[in-house]
A and B are shown apart, each in its own frame.
Chain A
Amino acid sequence: MAAEDLEPVALSALQHWAYCPRQCGLIHLEQAFDDNLHTLRGNAEHARTDQPGVETAKGLRVERALPLWHDALGLNGKADVVEFSRSGTPYPVEYKHGSRHKAADIAACDEVQLAAQALCLEAMTGRPVLEGAIYYASSRRRQPVCIDEALRERVRQITQAVRAMLASGQLPPPLTGPQAARRCKQCSLHDRCQPETLGNSTLRALRQHLYEPD
């Protein structure tokens, strides 16, 4: 298949998939979007990054809400902020609500998205992008992220997995085990997903006794 024929995968979908494949399916397959406190805060952060502003510090040129794409991987989306050095090397900065003291595995989901932006920027500008940063709004700190080969490989794998899911039209199952315990609570789609109702013994019992009077 020619690269241009690849159905593009949204950059944000990679982060969603890394967090939970079902969340990714609900958003990108079923177009569900439910605001909860977390996403509302996130939107407020993004509203700020969408505002035009002049960044004079260090003589950087700053592009906000910059369209990005990668034809060979079939990715597209937007970067919150990309700083271009005088020499023209791009440095993507992804804005996240919350603090940089997130659990490592959840922070890793943000890193995947950032790395995907870096790959897009490399393909678009022809310059190597070896570092980017995640800006955590609550702690107002930038966390530099090295775009290493392991992260690049994750981007490629997740892109494929997301594309396969979109092509199949099948919604992935909910998370289970300790991951579910930690991630579902904070998930913006929790109410829609109702993960606790799957594999629920009460549901099974209700179904079994549906035709018996009590």
Chain B
Amino acid sequence: MELLNTLYVTTPESYLRLDNDTLRVMLEDDTRLRVPLHHLNTVVCFGRIGLSVPLMHRLAQEGIALVLLDDHGRFMARLEGPVSGNVLLRQAQHRQALDAAFTLDTARACVAGKIKNTRQVLMRGAREAKSDEDRAALSRAADDLAASLRALPGVADLDTLRGVEGEAARQYFGALSRLVKPDLRASFNMSDGRNRRPPRDRLNALLSFLYSLWMNDCRSALEATGLDPQVGFLHALRPGRAALALDLMEEFRAQADRLALTLINRGQLRAVDFQEREGGGVLLATEARKTVLVAFQERKKEEIQHPLLTQPVALGLVPLVQARLLARAVRGESEPDGQRLGYVPFITR
């Protein structure tokens, strides 16, 4: 498996065009960048970016996904060539989504993945904490998450499951600011816990942006696998919502959180990199976005040992590995002994 690049285009008013076998990024009359198409598997455009129809044709033909996001990183549209999609797998998925037992089992596994991975973030923070107060608070939150995790097998319906998940998230975000270096906490704390639409503090603004990047990758991974990103198990169906991508993303949230903390604690992002809008909304500034995107791309290149694969794999490919495991669960494939294991999320150490 090869981790091909995603080209993120963030400069407003850029224009993308096809130039033989390369993609050319123009700003006014200047060429800013040339990328050979065979290095790409996705092109992501933020906000007001222009592009030519010949380029769109070529991207579709080469199987390079084109994703359009708005200024805030929210999903707008995606162009994909005719090979994508797999009607039989989708049919199986739709059938499974109507099966209460399968739905609950899969949703529960997704929540477990999220709780386990976020708990690791807290436990590592507790180990590295400089003050007793932080250590105690982080350990307490990690214990709370352990209790939520143990409660999962006994949960009998989706509403209760979502309740457990929501409670775990509250406890987690209540402690997360303690992972920010003490002298930076005045600028980066989560006074109100997790908030969005719009985010109302810097940490939330950064997390929202990183989540949208992971979300986009999870969505691409599902589509590449032939699953329908809109039909989820944990997340309820809602028009325009990629519920399955949200399900898959749960286990990757901790990755986004870790990167956010690294960027803040290493001083790569500072308070001035965020804009406060009238009324209290907070946005990551355009220039700072580039810093985040570069760091995100770098992080995705890091090789990790996936527990199920024999060879190390780039972190950026793990959503694809997981989407394929999800497809296997959706098809109802059995183990050699006839047992069905169901979905197993990606758990980090």
Q: A residues near B, CB below 8 A?
A: 29-33, 169, 171, 173, 176, 191-192, 194, 196-200, 202-204, 206-207, 210-214
Counting contact residues on chain B (CB < 8 A from A), the size range is 35 or more
Question: Contacts A197-B325, A206-B344; is A211 near B149 (CB within 8 Å)?
Answer: yes
B221 to A: closest C-beta gap in Å: 12
Chain A, Cβ-Cβ closest to B147: A213
List of 6 A-B pairs having minimum Cβ-Cβ separation, nearest first = A213-B146, A199-B336, A191-B1, A197-B308, A210-B112, A211-B153
A199 touches B344 (CB 8 A): no
A171 touches B333 (CB 8 A): yes
* CB of B199 within 8 Å of the partner chain: no
In the assembled complex, the Cα of A212 lies from the Cα of B341 at a distance in Å of 17
Contacts of B344 in A (CB 8 A): 203, 206-207, 210
Contacts of B325 in A (CB 8 A): 194, 197
Show 28 A/B contacts (Cβ-Cβ < 8 Å), sorted by A: A29-B88, A30-B86, A30-B89, A31-B226, A33-B83, A171-B333, A173-B334, A176-B336, A191-B1, A192-B324, A194-B321, A194-B324, A196-B309, A197-B309, A197-B325, A197-B328, A198-B333, A198-B335, A198-B336, A202-B307, A204-B335, A204-B341, A210-B112, A210-B116, A210-B345, A211-B152, A212-B149, A213-B146
Contacts of B113 in A (CB 8 A): 210
* CB of B258 within 8 Å of the partner chain: no
Q: Tell me which residues from 155 to 186 in chain B have a Cβ below 8 Å from any Cβ of chain A.
A: none
B284 to A: closest C-beta gap in Å: 33
B341 touches A173 (CB 8 A): no
Chain B, Cβ-Cβ closest to A191: B1
Contacts of A203 in B (CB 8 A): 308, 341, 344
* CB of B24 within 8 Å of the partner chain: no
In the assembled complex, the Cα of A33 lies from the Cα of B82 at a distance in Å of 13
B336 touches A30 (CB 8 A): no
Q: Tell me which residues from 300 to 349 in chain B have a Cβ below 8 Å from any Cβ of chain A.
A: 307-310, 321, 324-325, 328, 331, 333-337, 341-342, 344-345, 347
Question: Contacts A31-B86, A32-B226; is A196 near B112 (CB within 8 Å)?
Answer: no
Contacts of B324 in A (CB 8 A): 192, 194
Contacts of A169 in B (CB 8 A): 88
Contacts of A171 in B (CB 8 A): 331, 333
A199 touches B86 (CB 8 A): no
A186 to B: closest C-beta gap in Å: 15
A206: contacting residue among B152, B153, B347, CB under 8 A: B347
In the assembled complex, the Cα of A203 lies from the Cα of B109 at a distance in Å of 13
In the assembled complex, the Cα of A206 lies from the Cα of B149 at a distance in Å of 14
